[in-house]
Amino acid sequence: MNDLILIINAGSSSIKFSLFAQTSADPELLYKGQVEGIYVDPQFSAKNAAGDKLADEKLPADSPRSHDYALRYLLDWVNGHTDGRKLAVIGHRVVHGGFNFTQPVRIDAQVLAELDKTVSLAPLHAPANIGPMKALASLLPDVPQVACFDTAFHRTQPEINQLYALPVELAEREGIRRWGFHGLSYEYIASVLPQIDQRAANGRTVVCHLGNGASMAALDQGKCVLTTMGFTALEGLPMGTRTGSLDPAIVLHLMTHLKMTTAEIETLLYKESGLLGLSGVSSDMRELHASKEPRARMAVEYFANRIVQQVGSLAASIQGLDALVFTAGIGENDDELRALVCNALRWLGVDIDESVNAKRSGEPRRISRADSKVAVYVVPTNEELMIARHALRCIAA
């Protein structure tokens, strides 16, 4: 089993990649990297599985500023590091699967045509997700490609949890429902919970995916019952630069009283709000913890407070709580935030061991005391591995 699996995660201004080797067990990570700043000052970087830097270079100054060129540049580097092995499959992270895609699917012309119809549901992400699929179909026509969807995991939510209180005909026609995102991360957590805690895997667990983009989900026996993100990745928790949930009449106020345009409001909601807007300092939790500005501390506490509120709501949706899981960049690395959240949940039966919580580790670990009614874990997520697993299963089928 010497074949390779290439994972592509394309955004509006970057393309991230991971290269895995197929093994008799889980796929094994070999390299990962990205081309970022594609339309401004494109930079390519790559590391091996141990984190050693192998490349950090600007793309040629006279090169096209495009996703297609960035993809070709990335492929050239990958082709130079295959050691004679061949690509067995390419897996893609796709933000939105719409109504039709509830599980990974092998990409063909019909799938691409259906994916084009989802652009209106995710205009910031879908074109960037779909473009590399079309380019790779031309560049590597003999290599199968598989699309994996961030919305798919949340389609197990009861219908009542997917709806908004809008006229049904309008909502159905426009695809306006609570889709949820970060699904591949939640799916990975659900896949490893049985090895960590059978009670959590078989019971009621709230997972906190906390990063620059942040969301939470309530799982019952590993299936999603409710998640905080909705029609877009703007709803729910405040994030690095995104507002999270807010009274929709605020948008009307901005339009009618401040005469803000749609583009100005979009910039405000997505790029100037959240932790950055609250603090006036930074969107980075590490910088907020280090800052002496009162607003920086307020932003941290606001973020923690919203998480606590959502834990209560999510626990209600699954009628109790057996386990709480922290994952993603902030969830895995910010022991101070975890303590703020967990100490505010003592009423629910959460009791963490502060010394264990403060320790750093790249492995899954329990941070709650042995007698805590609710078990609390830190579990590193791995969306790329989840995509690699799906890609292999898809082509095997």
Q: Report percent pLDDT > 70 for the chain.
A: 99
List CB contacts of 72: < 8 A, sequence separation 6 or more. Answer: 139
Residues acting as catalytic residues:
150
Across residues 332-351, what is the average pLDDT? 97
User: How many Cβ atoms sit within 10 Å of the Cβ of residue 209?
Assistant: 28
pLDDT recorded at residue 125: 85
* Distance from C-alpha of 138 to C-alpha of 140, rounded to nearest angstrom: 6
95 within 8 A of 101, measured Cβ to Cβ: no
Task: Categorize the per-residue pLDDT at 2 as very low, low, confident or very high, splitting at 50, 70 and 90.
Answer: low
380 within 8 A of 328, measured Cβ to Cβ: no
Chain-centroid distance, C-alpha 141: 29
pLDDT recorded at residue 387: 97
- Domain 4-149: homologous superfamily in CATH: ATPase, nucleotide binding domain (3.30.420.40)
Structure tokens at 244: 């999270």
User: How many Cβ atoms sit within 10 Å of the Cβ of residue 329?
Assistant: 19
Across residues 182-193, what is the average pLDDT? 97
* Distance from C-alpha of 112 to C-alpha of 158, rounded to nearest angstrom: 28
Structure tokens at 41: 């000052």
Question: Is residue 1 pLDDT above 60, yes or no?
Answer: no
What is the bridge-based pairing of β-strands 365-366 and 375-378?
antiparallel
pLDDT recorded at residue 283: 94
Q: Which fold has domain 197-383?
A: Nucleotidyltransferase; domain 5 (3.30.420)
- What pLDDT, in 10s, does the model give residues 164-185? 999 999 999 999 999 999 999 9
- Taking Cα atoms as reference points, which of 190, 196, 192, 212 lies closest to residue 334? 212
- What pLDDT, in 10s, does the model give residues 231-266? 999 999 999 999 999 999 999 999 999 999 999 999
* Distance from C-alpha of 130 to C-alpha of 117, rounded to nearest angstrom: 11
> At 204, phi and psi to the nearest 5?
-110, 115
Across residues 83-112, what is the average pLDDT? 93
DSSP string, 170-181: HHHHHT-S----
Task: Categorize the per-residue pLDDT at 192 as very low, low, confident or very high, splitting at 50, 70 and 90.
Answer: very high
Domain regions of the chain by residue span? 4-149, 197-383
Indicate the range of 118-127, 135-144, 330-339 predicted with least confidence: 118-127
Structure tokens at 253: 């106020």
Judge whether 4-149 and 197-383 match in fold: yes
Question: Is residue 123 pLDDT above 90, yes or no?
Answer: no
pLDDT recorded at residue 122: 84
- What pLDDT, in 10s, does the model give residues 32-51? 999 999 988 899 999 999 99
